[in-house]
Structure 1
Amino acid sequence: MENILIVEDEFDLALNIKEILENFGYNVVGIHPEAQTALTFLETSKVDLILMDIQIKGEMDGIDLCYTIKDKYNIPIIFLTAYSDQTYLDRISNVIYDGYLLKPFKAESLKTAIYLALKSKPYAISPKDYGNLNLKIRDKGYLVPIPLNDILYLKADGLYTKIITTVKSYTVRDILKDLQEKLPDKLFIRPHKSYLVNVNKIISFNSKELIIKDTNIPIRRGFFKVLSELKE
């Protein structure tokens, strides 16, 4: 039975969703109205999927919380929101998520979204296997396997992404989000919406930026703590 966490600050709505999920055969392991308690819960609990409201209590909203969770855990996230304006859509488009449902939604729509998110969850990869893995790209008509351990960082460039390695740089016609889905989230983190970096290549960092080789890469608000825990 899959464990589902609900992050929603409307408690009555959260209880209603909990009841629906339990009728579908899922186990609701918690309901949290704000980011910090949800993050604390994740430190000690097994969660297979998160239903995330965008407008939650506290300084960090659901989109920022999604960034933080995706940088630390391999957990599918489905956004539940009453908002569909361009500002939210632009922000959501820069984060890896696994579903989006506009409130009010039907129970069957929720069931389908959860099923698809759980089915698409990638298998975990052991860090010892990273040296044997490649990111396959097309460069000038040729298929090029790039060893993951050679990648320094990736940078978004419109509809393209620049891949900076220890040997050379590549530009591929893929958005950063799509490439992130192909890479192990324990090795590659997203400190800023425009960058995906190899954790093992970080030389130093502070609350505003990190350094990889001779490049200064900005980090978003609240990410310093995440990075500090990763590099302990």
Structure 2
Amino acid sequence: MEVLEKKRIYIVEDEFDLAENIRDILTHSNYEVIGIESDGKIAIKQIIEKKPDMVLIDIKLAGSLSGIEVCSQVKQNLDTLTIFITAHSDQEVLEKIGDVDYDSFILKPFTKETLKSNIYLNLLKKENIINKNSYINVRDKGLIVPLQESEILMLKADGLYTKIFTKDKQYMVRDIMKDVSQKLSSDCFLRIHKSYIINVNHVTAYNSKEVNIDKYVAPIRRGFFRELAKKLVMHMN
């Protein structure tokens, strides 16, 4: 899955030249750098106010707070990714890092590729978790059922209604399939026919005419076969 939206990153670093270099790399990689700060106390205040998607933190900082303390304060207030960037890898520092909640660690000196891949993979991992835990509400016999997107096998258009298939049950939703599909946040759903949208994570077999999704079979329209094959490769890697 691709990280689709432009992510906002805050840099806590007391080496000005390095911070500017990181900013340039991230900007050219389509990230938005929303702040750079060397003082931990100031950084914490700005991070909580700006709510970035990720914070890059040097362990040794100007001021009274260390990067480890900054990370701890950020994690207590926000569900934000934090990555330590430091030249220090001695046992004492590693033990201190182990006492806080953080997401990754980059050791200086590092290459542009190391920085970019570490940031991308951590953002991707979090987005996959979010999508995995996403759900839509459906009505069933007068009750609202929060249905995990990961449980949905496929959607089938039925006039002004949409039938949602899971392994254990089928739900009839009083909305056209286009409107239902727009409520789904994950990119694992793919239209393969004017009347069918499938969850590619549940495909068990397919050819140019039909797709097996668990115990169900859905027709595939000409022109969608290559797109399905491409999607399946992406989700297997």
TM-score of the aligned structures, taking structure 2 as reference length? 0.50
Amino acid at match of 1:78: I
Amino acid at match of 2:14: D
Query: Larger deviation: 39-48 or 81-90?
Result: 39-48
Larger radius of gyration: 2
Q: Secondary structure in 2 aligned to 1:56?
A: coil
Which of 55, 60, 71 is the equivalent residue of 2:60?
A: 55
How far apart are 1:92 and its partner, in Å?
0.8
Aligned equivalents of 1:100 and 1:50: distance in 2? 12
How far apart are 1:34 and its partner, in Å?
1.3
Aligned residue in 1 for 2:123? 118
Aligned equivalents of 1:102 and 1:113: distance in 2? 11
Displacement over 6 Å in runs of 4+? none
Relative to structure 1, is the Cα distance of residues 43 and 95 closer, same or farther in structure 2, using a 3 angstrom cutoff? Answer: closer
**Which structure 2 residues correspond to residues 19-168 of structure 1 after superposition, within 5 A?**
19-121=24-126, 122-123=129-130
Amino acid at match of 2:42: T
Matched-pair identity in %: 42
Aligned equivalents of 1:106 and 1:16: distance in 2? 11
Which of 17, 22, 26 is the equivalent residue of 1:17?
A: 22
Q: Deviations over 1:76-122 (max 9, x none)?
A: 01110000100000111121111111111001111111012112325
Give the paired residue count.
125
Aligned equivalents of 1:37 and 1:80: distance in 2? 18
**Unmatched runs of 5 consecutive residues or more in structure 1:** 126-232
Aligned equivalents of 1:5 and 1:95: distance in 2? 19
Aligned equivalents of 1:105 and 1:17: distance in 2? 11
Which of 4, 7, 15 is the equivalent residue of 1:2?
A: 7
Q: Deviations over 1:44-85 (max 9, x none)?
A: 213000110000011110011111111110000111000010
Q: Secondary structure in 1 aligned to 2:85?
A: strand
Q: Secondary structure in 1 aligned to 2:105?
A: strand
How far apart are 1:42 and its partner, in Å?
2.1
Q: Secondary structure in 1 aligned to 2:75?
A: helix
How far apart are 1:17 and its partner, in Å?
0.6
Aligned equivalents of 2:56 and 2:115: distance in 1? 10
Q: Secondary structure in 1 aligned to 2:36?
A: strand
Aligned residue in 2 for 1:192? none
TM-score of the aligned structures, taking structure 1 as reference length? 0.52
